[in-house]
């Protein structure tokens, strides 16, 4: 199966700071998806087809990458962005998720 | 508005079968999309378990292939998960979600496997 490795596992950022997190796939994928999850809530689709923001996602978020390497960037950290972010691929079955990056406020 | 809602027992004994229902409102499961089951273990690891497509075909995670079955009742707009021979390692929160992009999720249902 295609293993997705996210880094860092935990990070903290100050309000207004730029944030970048990474997702590396053991095999090349066509696209990467990202989900945001807050405590005691279901994951929410956040970015699809690598760089498209899901409805309602603020424009300070962006996604990029290709092949084996993808990233999610927040241009200016806001308090509501504190959450865990998971990447996910469905290029090959079984669909797999990364282990998550937990983003905290510094 | 599309909504998904999981339901089922919160406690299952080891070696028994786990059966969950996902009730979908606001969209017909026969119109389009794959309809997924995903679980999240304590510690937060997410695992895709499988799906049933709008046409009724299924795809399963090979790690579960001998134990899992996903079926549906189109008249009730529901789809189901059955996981056989459960162990304590199947303790998790179980989610249903729409599509390979998983754009809509249920709120999740916690299942504990314990005697």
Residue A50 near chain B (CB below 8 Å): no
Report DSSP state, residue A81. G
Alpha-carbon span A34 to A104, nearest angstrom: 17
- pLDDT value of position A40: 87
Whether residue B106 contacts residue B2, with contact meaning beta carbons closer than 8 Å, is answered with no
The HSE-up count of residue B53 (CA atoms within 13 Å, CB side) is 6
Q: Give B97 to chain A, closest Cα distance, Å.
A: 10
Quick: pLDDT tens for A4-49: 999 999 999 999 999 999 999 999 999 999 999 999 899 999 999 9
The beta-carbon neighbor of A86 closest among B46, B105, B107 is B46
Residue B87, CA atoms < 13 Å, CB-side half-sphere: 3
* pLDDT, tens digit (0-9, with 9 covering 90-100), for A56-96: 999 999 999 999 999 999 999 999 999 999 999 999 999 99
Q: Do A33 and B102 touch (CB under 8 A)?
A: yes
Residues B78-82, mean pLDDT to the nearest whole number: 98
């Amino acid at each position: 199966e295609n293993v997705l490795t996210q880094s860092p596992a935990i990070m903290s950022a100050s309000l207004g700071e730029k944030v970048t997190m990474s997702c590396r796939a053991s095999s090349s994928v066509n696209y990467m998806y990202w989900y945001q999850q807050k405590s005691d809530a279901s994951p929410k689709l956040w970015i699809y087809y690598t760089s498209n923001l899901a409805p309602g996602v603020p424009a300070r978020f962006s996604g990029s990458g290709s092949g084996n390497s993808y990233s999610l960037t927040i241009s200016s950290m806001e308090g509501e962005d504190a959450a865990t972010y998971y990447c996910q691929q469905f290029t090959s079955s079984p669909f797999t998720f990364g282990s998550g990056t937990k983003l905290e406020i510094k | 508005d599309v909504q998904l809602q999981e339901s089922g027992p919160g406690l299952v004994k080891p070696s028994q079968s786990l059966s969950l229902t996902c009730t979908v409102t606001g969209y017909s499961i026969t119109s389009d999309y794959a309809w997924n089951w995903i679980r999240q273990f304590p510690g937060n690891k997410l695992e895709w378990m499988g799906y049933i497509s709008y046409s009724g075909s299924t795809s399963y995670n090979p790690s579960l292939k001998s134990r899992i079955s996903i079926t549906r009742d189109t008249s009730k707009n529901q789809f189901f998960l059955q996981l056989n021979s459960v162990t304590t390692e199947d303790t998790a929160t179980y989610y249903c979600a729409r599509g390979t992009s998983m754009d809509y999720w249920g709120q999740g249902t916690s299942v504990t496997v314990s005697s």
